Structure 1
């Protein structure tokens, strides 16, 4: 059990630090350059493992479905997160990212015919109330130039929610390793397309130690090794245990942001986080008896 808790702590630290790496990387690499670099670095770590385990892969491979998962699990949300961090702090982005389980339930209801109980609807409403607190009830900024930031982070969480539901329905038997690598490769292609349309990127700080550290940390660790840790927690522990990382990542991101970026932790941010946590807990809590429930992934 100590190894499982060690993996949980390590994963929360890695994913929390990822928001700092994005902040460091997005300025020199651009939004889509950040997506491309993190995807390719992560794929380079995992492709040798896939080669070793190639005989264990189930066939036929649902590659068309995996492409869609890659777009909505990596390419689009990672671009939206990078875009968000051009306007908001890394700790705010991490707190909004904690909405993913709630968005997963909402997407399941809207597009996958999944019924939600009153308790789950209550959790969704509470979670979005946390956003209002975080925004200091300035809802108007979501419909103005201020949409880039909070609004784009909500879109990223919705992308994760769609990818999670789609994966569960269509590609759940493909295996986590294959799904992850496909996501990274497709996400890298999305990044290249984004670079093509947004214009060339001038990596003036390519040889800067902070730049190299960000690529390695965000790609190799945050997008590569972290998924192996998550898979280890799923198989050796349980899905419920693995998804508890949802509660830890915003906290570690706040700590990293404060230490490395001198970001302040405002009262609205802390209170909003607590409300979102409570909403996630209510929405994902399993009923005690034989009532139908919906499982969430982050």
Structure 2
């Protein structure tokens, strides 16, 4: 019950995060949005971190290289790709594409972590990508034109999540959730800070000079709640329920994002959006069924 409560809570938080990104990005830019998100999230976790690092054994045994990789692929890179995506597509569409995460998690597990997939799971993966085509009204050429910034970067973001989920489960399952979340956000902030300096040097100045209260509410919501608290729940799900279970949070995120996007931003819920979402959901269901899934490494042992 506790595990499923965490799953539902995370989906509600991350569903609203797409709306927050939409609000922030116009002022802060792509990298500025990621930087503010990571800094706000790390700030709220810092008091908890101070309690945890009193344990010397925890500090000595931290796998720093693995933590750095997790930070890049779980925060810095995918969040920049999502922010870039939302400069071209609505938060609704971005959230629906985010539902590909469990499908990409299965595919990355096969490619990078030697996890076998059965015919049913491959069918689910194909079905998931069919959902993308429905969203695009079967105009495949759009993916390789201007729409790549919107749709393609969102797919790349979910690929990062898929890799990071398996990587975290394999190499970081023994690291405390608070420490793992904090370091992930710090690495993300460092990457985003470099991006701000080289691409949007005035982004943070624009934020500080803004008088828009919605902007600051969105920064707090996206960073403190959508990143700090959300990552505690996310890593708890990975370490307790496994990588596949944690990725199923994206079953619910599109539904909450569609609701928030329509209510708060007035974004339309189109037929293509709904049919694409349903198709992706079916793909996710089949791609994550565990029957007859074996691990190559275990089979060879």
TM-score w.r.t. length of structure 1: 0.90
Tell me, yes or no, if structure 1 residue 258 matches structure 2 residue 259: no
1:188 corresponds to which residue? 189
- Give how far 1:232 is off: 5.6
* Structure 1 Cα separation of the partners of residues 157 and 237 of structure 2: 24
- Give how far 1:243 is off: 4.9
1:137 corresponds to which residue? 138
2:299 corresponds to which residue? none
* Structure 2 Cα separation of the partners of residues 275 and 70 of structure 1: 31
Tell me, yes or no, if structure 1 residue 203 matches structure 2 residue 206: yes
* Greater helix proportion: 2
**Partner SS for 1:30:** helix
What are the superposed Cα offsets for residues 126-170 of structure 1, whole Å, 9 maximum, x if unpaired?
111110011111110111122110010000001111111222232
* Structure 2 Cα separation of the partners of residues 20 and 118 of structure 1: 37
Superposition misfits of 4+ residues, deviation over 6 angstroms:
none
Q: Do the aligned partners of residues 11 and 32 (structure 1) sit closer, same or farther apart at CA in structure 2, a change above 3 Å counting?
A: same
1:248 corresponds to which residue? 252
1:44 corresponds to which residue? 43
* Structure 2 Cα separation of the partners of residues 151 and 142 of structure 1: 6
- Give how far 1:253 is off: 0.1
Q: Which runs of 5+ in 1 are unaligned?
A: none
What are the superposed Cα offsets for residues 51-73 of structure 1, whole Å, 9 maximum, x if unpaired?
11221736421111111110111
Q: Do the aligned partners of residues 207 and 110 (structure 1) sit closer, same or farther apart at CA in structure 2, a change above 3 Å counting?
A: same
* Structure 2 Cα separation of the partners of residues 10 and 60 of structure 1: 31
1:114 corresponds to which residue? 115
Equivalenced residues, count = 290
2:22 corresponds to which residue? 23
1:269 corresponds to which residue? 273
What are the superposed Cα offsets for residues 152-192 of structure 1, whole Å, 9 maximum, x if unpaired?
00000011111112222322222322221111000001111
Cα RMSD over matched residues? 2.2
2:80 corresponds to which residue? 79
* Structure 2 Cα separation of the partners of residues 74 and 215 of structure 1: 16
- Give how far 1:23 is off: 0.2
Contact 1:286 1:293 in 2 (8 A): no
Tell me, yes or no, if structure 1 residue 96 matches structure 2 residue 97: yes
